[in-house]
């Protein structure tokens, strides 16, 4: 199964921020949190804020 996400805007932007849901791994899943996510468009690693980690 493949899927794609398309994003467009009427101006030049240097970042893409969209709503998303974040949760713990499947075996520890709880209530997913809705947050704003900054899309990582090519970095070799990624991170979440300490505040979000504490909320999970």
Domain ranges of the chain: 1-56
Residue 32 has pLDDT above 80, yes or no: yes
> DSSP letter at 55?
H
User: How many residues appear in the chain?
Assistant: 56
pTM of the model: 0.54
Tokens, residue 32: 């997913």
Q: Round to whole Å and give the CA distance between 40 and 31.
A: 24
* Angle of CA points 17, 19, 24, to nearest 5°: 115
Residue 2 has pLDDT above 70, yes or no: no
């Amino acid at each position: 199964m493949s899927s794609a996400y398309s994003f467009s805007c009427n101006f030049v932007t240097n970042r893409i921020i969209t709503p998303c849901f974040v949760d713990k791994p499947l075996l520890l899943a709880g209530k997913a949190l809705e947050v704003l996510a900054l899309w990582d468009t090519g970095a070799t690693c990624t991170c979440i804020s300490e505040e979000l980690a504490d909320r999970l």
